[in-house]
Structure 1
């Protein structure tokens, strides 16, 4: 798996998160990824996105999150010699990843037509904010605001809240990666065929609203901020405290799971009550149900309760912080380490699928 793309060359004219995350996917699987950074601005802006107290040597933790095992090259595309170097890279590339602002591709003679003139079988993957015809700057926060994510996220009494990671960038990166993989498949049939794959953050965000979108489109139900609760399922997302003061959450997706939960808690009769017997009525009466479950779960130690849930195939989990997450052996197996620019960078793998034949 680590060398599945060892014969592939990717040139990345992209900064921040979404575009580099696509290049990161290919670098993890063995491709040679050359990251072209803006010499005039000192490189990818995320090199400077450091938290208070973060060491100043080497790349920032943010930059390291999506730039594993790439070869960085600082170029000024407005300089004749540097542009010649960029063209030479494009000529040998299988894939070119870009996130140029509207008009910059023309300014630097790097439109799709220009790329094809340099490399007739090139695959270009391009990410924009609001589409190729918009010159509007788009950071993840702006997209979360404009596509409904913030309006749905948070507690009922909290203001609209952004998700604590750049989810829209991640979603757009996945969609661009999928489009590029489709182009690579088509090139098996037509090796000389060039392709351009376009993805916008806006389109990716809208398409990722899934059931929340259909709740509106089909039922005209505007999602409200309900914290971690699920609008269609109960109990799902409620937070409970065990007897040893640890936080537990449940994701009960079926009536069978609810019955088994009640057996674990020693209240099997609860599953037979009309107001809790089926998911629809549990959603209607979720506040009262949550209070009853709170009393029962509070009598358990966390490990004992979670083990019982696991043994009975009842979806339950402890709410963990990132220290707890990465102290687990399971998460440790997913880490990549790289020594570069005087600093060791550690990050989780993003390509975690397996292929069997």
Structure 2
């Protein structure tokens, strides 16, 4: 039995933060009903590439769910929404606050129908702010872009939508906490998750440096603001990242690579000195490491337990022995028999391990069966089909 077996999640979210949250809950055994418009989650069309009719983007965050496609604005769908709310342990959405009341989905309305439901709203700036939230914008306004990129270049966004993904994970943590508290209170609660808050939170030590040091954060490119050497180096045949976390590791690093003089140099004896003399030390290391092969550096540093790793491409990482050892690529088939590979769950639970139970659904694939489960009559379903306010496939 999965950890969240018996938990029903009604998922009104789209794009990435919300779907990523609910996919993690689904991986853990929750029943997730993905409620979409009759035209579907925008990401279904965000391609190429596609597998069958679905984009790779959509596929990354929607496994282990069922799809119910309805027009939420249609009056004759309101009783369907009410039935879903009554069924729910968790309701999650990422609508603008101004849209919620008209849809019958603001917290007061939901709570009056089902007081035990955990209600999670994901937004850009909080559930009282109507500004739209997009990962790229939040990376900019939260300060994340200002510390990302080359030291002498323009600010860069991170190559994946990290604010969306962290927001989804924070939402999952909040939902699990609220479910645990409900075991005591028997009452649900509202969870307000903002991308902006998540963007600030993931600044972590950088934000702490600014709050404590009262100096603006700088871009360090592939270096670290507080630790040296902790960066990318070019080798004779590629690139490698070396992360020397303490003075013992620095001493072992130098001796392993034949840089004993640098281990004894008084300018570099402690991490604080190495940070102060960053430019001098890094120049010396770069000039020496560029003549060594990547494998030679990896081999020598692994002997003395100094953390390091090659810079892989995404394809190389997905094909790495570590990826398969950790079961991080799951394989199934789409509705048309095409092979479908997905990045697996990083959660490893000895008694309730996440697994692939069902492929990401086609739009409205489960509309008929979900409506029947909710007690909607055949005549009502036919009427809604004729009106175009539901979609089935």
Give the TM-score of the pair, scaled to structure 2: 0.84
- Structure with more relative contact order (C-alpha pairs < 8 Å, separation 6 or more): 2
Aligned-partner Cα distance in 2 for 1:94–1:296:
59
CA 1:356–1:254 in structure 2 vs 1: closer, same or farther (change >3 Å)? farther
2:280 maps to which residue?
288
CA contact (8 A) 2:8 2:90 kept: yes
Q: List per-residue Cα deviations over 1:164-184 (Å, max 9, x = no partner).
A: 111111111111111111111
Range moving further from structure 2, 344-353 or 319-328: 344-353
1:116 paired residue among 111, 116, 132: 111
Q: How does 1:85-164 map to 2 (within 5 A)?
A: 85-164=80-159
Corresponding position: 1:16 with 2:11: no
Provide the aligned length of Structure 1 versus Structure 2: 349
CA contact (8 A) 1:64 1:345 kept: no
| CA displacement at 1:356 relative to structure 2 | 7.0
Corresponding position: 1:346 with 2:338: no
RMSD, aligned CA? 1.8
Give the TM-score of the pair, scaled to structure 1: 0.93
1:320 maps to which residue?
312
Residue aligned with 2:226, SS: coil
Corresponding position: 1:44 with 2:44: no
What 5-or-longer segments of structure 1 have no aligned partner? none
CA 1:45–1:182 in structure 2 vs 1: closer, same or farther (change >3 Å)? same
Residue aligned with 1:103, SS: helix
CA 1:238–1:221 in structure 2 vs 1: closer, same or farther (change >3 Å)? farther
CA contact (8 A) 1:250 1:316 kept: yes
Aligned-partner Cα distance in 2 for 1:248–1:103:
49
Aligned-partner Cα distance in 2 for 1:337–1:107:
41
1:6 maps to which residue?
5
1:253 maps to which residue?
245
| CA displacement at 1:117 relative to structure 2 | 2.5
CA contact (8 A) 1:101 1:135 kept: yes
Corresponding position: 1:337 with 2:331: yes
What 5-or-longer segments of structure 2 have no aligned partner? 353-393
1:224 maps to which residue?
218
CA contact (8 A) 1:61 1:345 kept: no
